[in-house]
Amino acid sequence: MVQKAERVLAPRNQGGTGRGARGGRPVGNVTRGTTNPNRMRRVDRWLTGPQAWRLRAAADPVAVDLGYGASPATAVELFDRLCAVRADMRVVGIEIEPERVRQGQALERTGLKFQLGGFELPVAGNPVVVRAFNVLRQYEEADVPGIWRLVQGRLAGGGLFIDGTCDEIGRRAAWVALDAERPLSLSVSMRFGAFTMPSDVAERLPKALIHRNVPGERIHAYLQAMDRAWLEAAPLASFGNKQRFSAMCRALLDAGWPIHDGPSRWRLGEVTVGWDAVAPRS
């Protein structure tokens, strides 16, 4: 049963085992929980690519799949993918719905466990990665800063919180990456053939941005710039979408957008921009 999201306004915990703020109950609400195998492949590919250094540098290599949904498949996949970077990675799948936790526990093995919890992150120590996909979009936009701060307060040094959204089978995805102090970037990753214009990803923007795609907001200007650059790169379509998408990203960079990474990521249909360039206007 889906619950109406209750307000999460401020950090309630700073370390330890992350007990909740409501008499020990998990912080958050039961969500729809829809998921599919391989749905998170695009963000996981980013975590094990440009962000792999965070995993290798972690003193305590713990990652959390927060709100994994009705199926534990994405948590199992996260474990397998992160272990390819660092064999001693540990992954904890956290869900607020007890039956989902019980289903996950049947798949536990060394390094992979499932437990009841919410945004307070009831794990020992401080995670190097917290991935929350298709979770915050079911809350109010006004609640996002408080949820962000709550999770950020649990991160390890050099840790990363991923707040993202994708479609049902992971063809279009967008995510905000945050460290313990601030949001760092927005990434967009789309399967070639699954979009006509780059701005098609708008319906999958994270909650902090999805209602800001209107004239006068930075995210609207960014998506419009992507579309213009995509259209201007149309002559390269005969050479394939990888070349066209790469040309779009290069044009954005040349136009002054703070684009991260480079062609090896662009050829995957992925582009990351600095957060300040797309952040909501106050």
pLDDT tens figures, 152-210 = 999 999 999 999 999 999 999 999 999 999 999 999 999 999 999 999 999 999 999 99
Tens of pLDDT along 57-84?
999 999 999 999 989 999 999 999 999 9
Per-residue pLDDT band for 36 (boundaries 50, 70, 90) equals confident
158-180 as b/e, with b when 16 or more CB fall inside 10 Å?
A: ebbbbbbbbbeebbbbbbbbbeb
Tens of pLDDT along 112-122?
999 999 999 99
- The SS3 of residue 35 is coil
Domain ranges within the chain, ordered by starting residue: 1-180
The kind and range of the H/E element at 88 are: none
Domain 1-180, architecture per CATH:
3-Layer(aba) Sandwich (3.40)
What is the side-by-side order of every strand in the sheet holding 90-95? 112-116, 90-95, 62-66, 129-133, 160-166, 172-178, 183-190, 270-274
